[in-house]
Structure 1
């Protein structure tokens, strides 16, 4: 597979298939425990049945967020709004140099402060947070960008 996108999608599909099979096996075990009767086996069976439900919710939520983020990335790329990080200095690990990432972050944050209700600025800020190493703020800001873009499409 030469196309890296196809490779990533194939890996995700395989992992989801493995998880679904695992959830199926857990469900079978839970039903078998409940079928034994008795307080302890039924309690354990219910607990085991809850695990695949939680797992399915996590997988669905993660995939939905990934598709939404990919949609924003494609729109930003099409509009020429992706952050240009190709020529930035990098550490031996491949990550962008911290000082360079912080300088880029300051610039992008100023853009966002000028128009915080624009999904494009929130998307760029989320990417800048990610490059600067602040993953929790990157996720939070990306959720905001997704919501703003969804609102824009519906308006």
Structure 2
């Protein structure tokens, strides 16, 4: 998908350059405006890739320590955790994050719990907080 997005953005830039080359003020204006789309698209792509790399690194760190949550919960045939089981286990991870707000590990586990419960927006927020805490030099030693 990322490659397709880059190809699409390159085509939009090409179209923008063609419009700028036309001797009509409206076409030039549209061409200049079309440069905004590739800039925003490229920024979003880079932000998502960086988020994915950083969150995967934290996940590998927890897996190495054997501290990944929700591993023993029942799963659907698709591999996703059953929602009722995730909801039942959620309170534990929320309490852990509230008790240790400076530990990236607790926020990462909370993010995985949010994701298992189907709340992707809060899951990403909790994992972003874990990334920021770990990047700030805080961790298991806090």
| TM-score, reference length from structure 1 | 0.81
In 2, Cα distance between equivalents of 1:93 and 1:19? 28
2:2 is matched with which residue? 16
For this pair of structures, how many residues does the alignment match?
A: 138
2:85 is matched with which residue? 100
In 2, Cα distance between equivalents of 1:115 and 1:149? 13
Gaps of 5+ in 2: none
In 2, Cα distance between equivalents of 1:138 and 1:145? 11
1:109 aligns with 2:121: no
- What's the offset of the Cα at 1:51? 1.1
- What's the offset of the Cα at 1:96? 2.2
In 2, Cα distance between equivalents of 1:79 and 1:26? 46
Q: Larger relative CO (CA 8 A, sep 6+): 1 or 2? A: 2
In 2, Cα distance between equivalents of 1:72 and 1:145? 8
1:149 aligns with 2:134: yes
Specify whether residues 28 and 64 from structure 1 end up closer, same or farther in structure 2 by C-alpha distance, changes over 3 A only. same
Q: CA RMSD in A?
A: 1.6
Gaps of 5+ in 1: 1-14
Deviations 1:21-80 (A, max 9, x none): 221121111011011022210111012121111111111111011111111111111121
- What's the offset of the Cα at 1:88? 2.1
| TM-score, reference length from structure 2 | 0.88
In 2, Cα distance between equivalents of 1:126 and 1:61? 18
- What's the offset of the Cα at 1:92? 5.8
The counterpart of 1:59, out of the listed 32, 36, 45, is 45
